[in-house]
Amino acid sequence: MQFIRAHVLVCGGTGCMSSGSRQVQAGLEDEIARRGLDNEVKVVQTGCHGFCEMGPLMIIYPEGVFYVSVKAEDVPEIVETHLYKGRIIERLLYREPLSQKSIPSYDEINFYKKQRRIILSNCGHINPDEINEYIAAGGYEALGKALTLMTPAAVTEEVKKSGLRGRGGAGFPTGMKWQFARQSPGEKKYVVCNADEGDPGAFMDRSVLEGDPHRVIEGMIICGYAIGADEGYIYVRAEYPLAIKRLRTAIAQAEEMGFLGKDVFGSGFNFALHIKEGAGAFVCGEETALLQSIEGRRGMPRPRPPFPAVSGLWGKPTNINNVETFANIASIIVDGAEKYAEIGTEKSKGTKVFALTGKINNTGLAEVPMGITMREIIYDIGGGIVDGKKFKAVQIGGPSGGCLPEDMLDLTIDYDSLTAAGAMMGSGGLVVMDETTCMVDVAKFFLTFTQSESCGKCTPCREGTKRMLEILTRITNGEGREGDIALLEDLARGIKQTALCGLGQTAPNPVLSTLKYFRHEYEAHIKDHVCPAGACSNLTGYTITDDCRGCGMCKKVCPVGAIAGEIKERHVIKHKVCIKCGACEGKCPFKAIRKGA
């Protein structure tokens, strides 16, 4: 028998692949074969570890040594020093940004220490293309338990008791939804997994599908059993080719093992699963639009009721849940609802995966218990703001969500507290912004997005978002008028109350939340014609760079005395006084004056 003494796990997630993990893996396999180590060392490609910032990532077992930013050139050294001589390569270890201490193992790193990885527990640790690795990690145990020891009603009851709420945005109790679908009369029912993940800045669903596809499939089969459905669809965005590929492999393997198909576990229960590729439309994440799209139509939402639980895909009762929601099911069934409900807050149970992005040091995926504070996520896990800049706001919930300012950082995160603060859990994208981000520009950014993704079926959303965008564009161009803020608020209220679907109803949120917490920035744009963050190009004045030698030419030429500074020292422009005539820029012999902040 062959004895494998070491496993080298190389991340094969989208992030690490784009940083070159494929070359690292190929180089490693060659080098190991060349040195004749191929029957004692095994190279495994895994899914995403969530720490994309530091990719490509590599873990070497049995020691569990964690190497970051590994390049193809490092491969010979890894084989020679680590795999051959058994010595750790110091320079490839992760260094904590603050202490500069190098840290050899995964669990010691701050980014992972505060996390509680249940849904992501396998991501980065197993080979997603190998069903046996999922089974070895306890996979499909929940399915076996549900099908052989529990009735469909008991499964539904267990999910209800767990307090799990939908991770797709609105946070509707999952068990209740299953019960509605279960109780709907009808022979034929469907289970649909929403893997459209259209919210820009969110990639947790993608990472779960790429890193642990069987967890989602298992959750869907259990749901099928609970509600009495024998067929399911996974609707995946077309922008996720790797996720689609891994899902196809996973479904084929589950069929071969008999977890999908006829008479699963000899229980008489049948379940077939299909993949539908999206075709690029954000609104298709909305459940009724998604169903239209599966049926092969334009993905336009329709009024509810009837809810999909009553009349869904091809008019049949359908239960639709998000990827992460399904990924929670197996652990609820195996460990029991009580155990699951121990994590989290009173009304929001379990963990939530957040995608940390923007101006933050450790970008990546963080799975944390509900009830953690925003500060813990951003500073303890995320390692604070890039380049030591000042935190300004965190945007949560994508185009439906809102921006929270610094004094909300100690807010504990759950569905209800976020909604109360004017934001929303949404899919869990957290985009961190620093002092150089203009909040009016951010609001405009989101409205540009929702306006172009509006399907056009209802007037408030089609016309209203357009008018709001026009106003915001005017403001960021420096043509804001007295009364614009009131007009924005008025339009926002109208759209929220009258739009047909969630897209329109939540589209004004980014504007309303920035108006609530950053109103002074709007006022500065409109009244003083300044963009305090220096981001809106029409409203930024001139700045003097480090190239200034202190010659004093600019000071002399300035018609309004807006420039201060001593000879031979760097000069500065007083923005309040500056009339942006540009006279100084032309005069500077060192080209040290430029437009923009």
Q: Which residues lie near ligand FES (CB under 6 A)?
A: 200-201
Output 217 or 385, the one with its CB closest to ligand FMN: 217
Output 201 or 308, the one with its CB closest to ligand FES: 201
Is 152 among the residues that bind ligand FMN (CB under 6 A)? Answer: no
Output 176 or 272, the one with its CB closest to ligand FMN: 176
Q: Name residues contacting ligand FMN, limited to 200-239 (CB under 6 A).
A: none
Residue nearest to ligand FES (CB): 200
Q: Residues near 113 by Cβ (< 8 Å), separated by ≥ 6?
A: 107, 380
The rounded distance, in Å, linking the Cα atoms of 486 and 498 is: 19
Is 418 among the residues that bind other proteins (CB under 8 A)? Answer: no
Output 200 or 552, the one with its CB closest to ligand FES: 200
Query: How far from 446 is each of 194, 389, 476, 510, CA to CA, in Å?
Result: 22, 24, 14, 7
Number of helices (H), then strands (E), in the chain: 25, 20
Taking CB within 5 to 8 Å according to partner kind, which of other proteins, ligand FMN, ligand FES, none is near residue 17?
A: other proteins
| Three-state SS sequence of 272-316 | EEEEEECCCCHHHHCHHHHHHHHCCCCCCCCCCCCCCCCCCHHHC
Taking CB within 5 to 8 Å according to partner kind, which of other proteins, ligand FMN, ligand FES, none is near residue 169?
A: ligand FMN
* Furthest C-alpha separation in the chain: 90
Cβ 54 vs Cβ 15: under 8 Å? no
- 270: which 2 tokens? 């049948």
Shortest separation between residue 563's beta carbon and other proteins, angstroms: 28
Element spanning 216, H or E: helix 213-227
Check residue 596 and give left, alpha or beta (phi > 0: left; psi -120 to 50: alpha): left
Among positions 503, 512, 539, 573, the unique one binding ligand FMN when judged by CB under 6 A = 503
**Angle at alpha carbon of residue 76, lines to 72 and 81, rounded to 5°:** 130
Output 104 or 200, the one with its CB closest to ligand FES: 200
**Which DSSP category does 400 fall into?**
G
Taking CB within 5 to 8 Å according to partner kind, which of ligand FES, other proteins, ligand FMN, none is near residue 65?
A: none
Shortest separation between residue 487's beta carbon and ligand FMN, angstroms: 24
What is the pattern of x (binds other proteins, CB under 8 A) and - over residues 264-303? Answer: ------------xxxxxxx----------xxxxxxx----
How far is Cα of residue 213 from the mean position of the Cα atoms in its chain? Answer: 17
**Which DSSP category does 57 fall into?**
P
Output 364 or 504, the one with its CB closest to other proteins: 364
Q: Could you tell me which of 579, 580, 561, 581 has the C-alpha nearest to residue 571? A: 561
Shortest separation between residue 76's beta carbon and ligand FMN, angstroms: 43
Element spanning 487, H or E: helix 484-498
Is 509 among the residues that bind ligand FMN (CB under 6 A)? Answer: no
Is 398 among the residues that bind other proteins (CB under 8 A)? Answer: yes
Outline where DSSP puts E strands in 110-212: 190-195
Is 293 among the residues that bind ligand FMN (CB under 6 A)? Answer: no
Among positions 133, 286, 434, 521, the unique one binding ligand FMN when judged by CB under 6 A = 286
Instruction: Provide the binding-site residues for other proteins, judged by CB under 8 A.
Output: 14-15, 17-19, 52-53, 55, 197-203, 206, 238-241, 276-282, 293-299, 314, 355-359, 363-365, 395, 398, 429, 431-433, 437, 442, 445-446, 449, 453, 455
Residues that bind ligand FMN (CB under 6 A): 166-170, 172, 194, 196-199, 283, 285-287, 320-322, 325, 501-503
